[in-house]
Structure 1
Amino acid sequence: MTTSNQVTITSSELGNLWMTFQEKTMLMRFLEHFLEHAEDQNTQQILRSSYDASTQTVETIINIFQQERAVIPTGFTKNDVNKGTPKLFDYLYDPMFLHMMSKIEVNLFALFSTMSYRKDIRQFFNQLTSNSQQIFDQCSQFLLEKGVLARPPYVSMPKEVAFVRNIHYLSGYQLLKEARSLNVIELSQIHHAIETNLTGMQLMVGFAQVANDHEAKKYFVKGMKLSKEVETKLGEYLRKDYIEPPATHAGKATNSTVAPFSDKMMLYTTNLLSTFGLGSNSLGGAFSLRSDIPFTMARLGKKVFNFAKEGGEIMIKKGWMEEPPQVEDRRQLTK
């Protein structure tokens, strides 16, 4: 992919490649467990397509690191997935999980592309964005056809252009009357946050059942409760407008207590999703014109931040957190 006359990759390109390596090697371990138990032929095809693309991505990053004479990260290996274990998640959870991850990847790799300066690295992340978009489309269509992906609510189409005439439009807290109903931008952000959180909540249930480390198990139970709180708080906004929050009968954790994944990888996955949850909350709050919604998003975001921080501390204590490449410390030169 690279040639000897290309410039050295920048710090941002190095960091983004390193993060991609971690995420993709983690995803491959999940897909290995899912593929072991996938019975539906269409599901197998989607999972296999994602697995092959992830494998190619990891091989490309290794090649870049070797040409740059950089050490190859550890990431997550075959030691982080246990073959022959019972299925941890039930009906259609595997494409639901991949739907969530590909949604995250589309945004992540598009961002990484804009942070890249060398042409081949930009092209690499552009291709990853396209690959993830294809997987997302496949998962979305498949889940919609199965009837397990809740569509956002339908609303009446606008017949004329309107302009805001009253500053109370921005207020979510009014003493004498109800706040205005949600607009479609606010509704879409809340729906998206709940939809993603439901998939994450079942992940926490499964992790809590199978974790071997006692501290990790308690942490995943805390994640279950936090996910429920997020769904409840955001769902209240929809219910006040007589809209039912998204829900699905599929994708539940089984009753298995045998861990298919290492505690290290389950903690990393939880930390990764919590971090993206923070970004989603910030985005939802930023696009809302009702003052109560950003306030709620910020309060939930603080709890998610503290939860993610606690997970990082557990990983460090256990020796499970791989350190990203470090900037040279030149501060001692000033002393």
Structure 2
Amino acid sequence: MSKRTAITSSEIGILWMTYKQKTMITRMLDYFIEQADDEEAKEIMTSLQSEIKPYIQRIADIFKEEGMVVPLGFTEADVNKGVPKLYDNGFDIMLLRLLKQISMGMHTLNLTMAYREDIINLFRELTVITQRYYEICTAYLLQRGLLTRSPSVPMPVKVDFVKDNSYLGGINPLATKRSLNTVEVSHMYHAIEANLFGMTLIKGFAQCAHEQEVKDYFSEGGKLAQEIIKDLSQLLAASDLKVPVPPGGNITKSTLAPFSDKLMMYCVSLFCSFSLGGNSLGTAFSLRNDIAATLAGIMKDVFEYAHKGAKLMIKHSWMEEPPPTN
């Protein structure tokens, strides 16, 4: 397949989204590398940044070759490297790990929407890089006690089949609910873990944002994350399973913003999209009706919150328009 094959609408879209995300990550790394006091964390972030930057340029070159304008994305104007730490205690690598989770999903999906050899290769290479750094970040956090593992359960010793429809029940408050299965636990635990981190991130953003309505929006997001954690934790606790706790990533007292309101709003929008995707999978793979209903309710709340954020970004001219089809 020739590299001169005409680029498709799908390929333009996935490259555009990737350019935005990678420029955001690069700008965030600018700040966290500057503030890092742990040499291993600094090395991880510096190494990742050096691997990401060539791909930003490769995407820009593809756009130029196709006669298309290069997105603005995020620039040095969106980061304030010299301000004091807004977060500490491993937050930088916790953030990087969550960003790599998002990137893994996006790159894999993007591979299924690419047709041209050079673009397929680009996303294949990004997938390999992302998986490697996700593993590095996970190992770093586990070694320092900054990441809790999901609960252990007794090992099954025989194959069982569902015997009746009560296995799907759970909505009737008078009926006995079966314990959660490990598939359901995996999705709920992951959602709680992500929201615990997201709550810390967004509360820090609320503490330092410039615009008051942006501060208020972030504060609302912190409360939403707290409610999600509470609802899902109750489901785990009802099956006598331990609930994730935030072992690190504290907010300092600094009120000086390391990032522009525009970048912070985009970051929260990205996390909302990640939450919607994760909860949709959790709903699809949960067989107890009350779990599916809880996750569907969470998706509704997150969608409404994200939509409110989109309106706020449009109001302040922070939302870069995706390439149109005509």
Structure-1 separation of matches of 2:73 and 2:289:
41
- Among 291, 296, 299, which residue is 1:298 paired with? 296
- Among 241, 244, 252, which residue is 1:254 paired with? 252
Residue identity matched to 1:230: I
Partner of 2:219: 221
Partner of 2:203: 205
The alignment status of 1:20 with 2:57, answered yes or no, reads no
Q: Percent identity?
A: 44
- Among 272, 275, 278, which residue is 1:277 paired with? 275
Q: Secondary structure at the match of 2:250?
A: coil
Q: Contact between 2:200 and 2:249, CA under 8 Å: does it hold in 1? A: yes
Partner of 1:99: 97
TM-score (norm. length: structure 2) = 0.98
1:45 positional shift: 1.3
Residue identity matched to 2:106: L
- Among 31, 34, 42, which residue is 1:33 paired with? 31
- Among 6, 22, 30, which residue is 2:4 paired with? 6
- Among 190, 193, 206, which residue is 1:192 paired with? 190
- Among 55, 62, 65, which residue is 2:63 paired with? 65
Partner of 2:164: 166
- Among 224, 228, 231, which residue is 1:230 paired with? 228
Per-residue Cα deviation, 1:238-265 (whole angstroms, up to 9, x for no partner): 1111222111331021111001100011
Partner of 1:331: none
Q: Secondary structure at the match of 1:148?
A: coil
Residue identity matched to 2:193: E
Partner of 2:131: 133
Q: Contact between 2:26 and 2:49, CA under 8 Å: does it hold in 1? A: yes
Per-residue Cα deviation, 1:10-51 (whole angstroms, up to 9, x for no partner): 000000000000001011111111001111111011111221
Structure-1 separation of matches of 2:176 and 2:222:
32
Residue identity matched to 2:129: N
Structure-1 separation of matches of 2:230 and 2:217:
20
Residue identity matched to 1:276: F
Residue identity matched to 2:138: S
Structure 1, unmatched stretches of 5+, are 329-335
Q: Secondary structure at the match of 1:39?
A: coil
1:69 positional shift: 1.3
Residue identity matched to 2:213: E
Per-residue Cα deviation, 1:107-146 (whole angstroms, up to 9, x for no partner): 1100000110111111111111111100100000110111
Decide whether aligned partners of structure 1 residues 198 and 175 sit closer, same or farther in structure 2, where only a CA change above 3 A counts.
closer
Partner of 2:238: 240
Residue identity matched to 1:200: G
Q: Secondary structure at the match of 1:277?
A: helix
Per-residue Cα deviation, 1:56-100 (whole angstroms, up to 9, x for no partner): 110111111111111111000000001210011111000000000
Q: Contact between 2:197 and 2:246, CA under 8 Å: does it hold in 1? A: no
TM-score (norm. length: structure 1) = 0.95
Q: Contact between 2:83 and 2:257, CA under 8 Å: does it hold in 1? A: yes
Structure-1 separation of matches of 2:282 and 2:69:
38
Partner of 2:284: 286
CA RMSD of aligned residues (A): 1.2
Structure-2 separation of matches of 1:53 and 1:179:
49
Structure-1 separation of matches of 2:193 and 2:136:
17
Structure-2 separation of matches of 1:229 and 1:179:
22
Residue identity matched to 2:278: S
Task: Give the aligned length.
Answer: 326
- Among 73, 76, 83, which residue is 1:85 paired with? 83
Structure-1 separation of matches of 2:52 and 2:273:
21
Q: Contact between 2:195 and 2:228, CA under 8 Å: does it hold in 1? A: yes
